[in-house]
Amino acid sequence: MEKVLTVLNLLKIYPNGKNANNGINIDVNRGEIVGLIGPNGAGKTTLVRQILGLLKPTGGTISILGEDISLQPSIIKREVGYAPQYPLYFPSLTVEETIGFALRLKGFKGEQLTNKLNEIIDFLNLGQVRKYYGYQLSPGLIKLMLIGVAFAQARSLLILDEPTSMVDIVSKSRLWDRLSQFKNNKAILIASHDMNEIKKLADRVYVILDGKIIAEGSPREISLLLELPCNVIFSSLDALRVKSFLEDNHIVYSLGGSVFTVSVGNLNSAIDIIKQINDITPINYIQFEAPSFETAIRKILEEKNGQN
């Protein structure tokens, strides 16, 4: 597979001393979608801005199609398309003018430009709003328009920062479908908080935390890694029978009034326990509490540090 993006030992220390990227190694090949997932402040945007040449690395190298971008910065403009997390747009340009502008900058003219523009607009289902001005669009439509701009720019590498935040569920699934088609002859890097999105789209995933890649694998491997421990809170009409089931099975619980709380390693175990209790005596109230994504990946990091 052709390596489109290679990042080696990337380091970014901001002037205030914040070490936002601390020895990052990633690559993205043609024909694949790679997810970059991590909580707020993990260093995703810093990494993306360095790949785009908007921030100068403190150390390490970034290559696109084998060319070091610090020596050949023009390769970024030639090969990379980018859609930012927060929609920045021209309120007084229409959807077709905005995407057309990006195509013109890429050198498209005349009939070739019209054809390419129509292709992108159809591809993203923006036909009905193509004559709408930026100020008339919902945040989700602005986001789709900017993804259209990124499609127009991307010759080899497409970088999307939180592509479907603010996008409604119908457009979201259409966009996921489109991205899967678009990857055929491109490399796509998606930074996201949304594990569902990454599971749906990505061929490979990097998990970033505190400026380091702490895990890499298939979406399935990563989601298993991220299986969240959770609390199950429930009550039953027959608390005595529930108590003896939990005690017989050495399951630790707390009891407040008639409400039990049990901590389990992951959702599957929680469901299993609930099924067993419900077979003994009907459960009349149930609630699951899962910690945040951030807590889950901090736990992985702690486990990793423990192993070293």
Ligand X SMILES: Nc1ncnc2c1ncn2[C@@H]1O[C@H](COP(=O)(O)OP(=O)(O)OP(=O)(O)O)[C@@H](O)[C@H]1O
Strand partners, 80: 157
Tell which phi-psi region holds residue 9, choosing left (phi > 0), alpha (psi between -120 and 50) or beta: left
Binding to ligand X by residue 87, rule CB under 6 A? Answer: no
CB proximity list for 20: less than 8 A, separation 6 or greater: 12, 13, 14, 43, 46, 211
Q: How far is the CB of 156 from ligand X (least distance, A)?
A: 23
Return left, alpha or beta for 233; rule: phi > 0 is left, psi -120 to 50 is alpha, else beta.
beta
Specify the residue, 17 or 257, whose C-beta has the smaller distance to ligand X.
17
Q: Which H/E stretch holds residue 97?
A: helix 95-105
Identified binder of ligand X from the candidate list 10, 26, 28, 44, rule CB under 6 A: 44
Reduced to 3 DSSP states, what percent helix, strand and coil does the chain have, rounded to the nearest 5? 40, 30, 30
Smaller CB separation from ligand X, 121 or 209? 209
Closer to ligand X by CB, 46 or 153: give it.
Answer: 46
CB closer to ligand X out of 40 and 92: 40
Site for ligand X contains 172 (CB under 6 A)? no
Out of 3, 6, 23, 41, the only residue in the binding site for ligand X (CB under 6 A) is 41
Q: Is residue 43 within the footprint of ligand X (CB under 6 A)?
A: yes
Which among 41-49, 124-132, 163-171, 238-246 is the span making contact with ligand X, rule CB under 6 A?
Answer: 41-49
Q: How many CA atoms lie within 13 A of 271 on its CB side?
A: 4
Q: Is 159 in the site for ligand X (CB under 6 A)?
A: no
Binding of residue 205 to ligand X (CB under 6 A)? no
Q: Is 135 in the site for ligand X (CB under 6 A)?
A: no
Interatomic CA distance for residues 173 and 179, integer angstroms: 10
| Site residues for ligand X per CB under 6 A | 14, 16, 18, 20, 38, 40-46
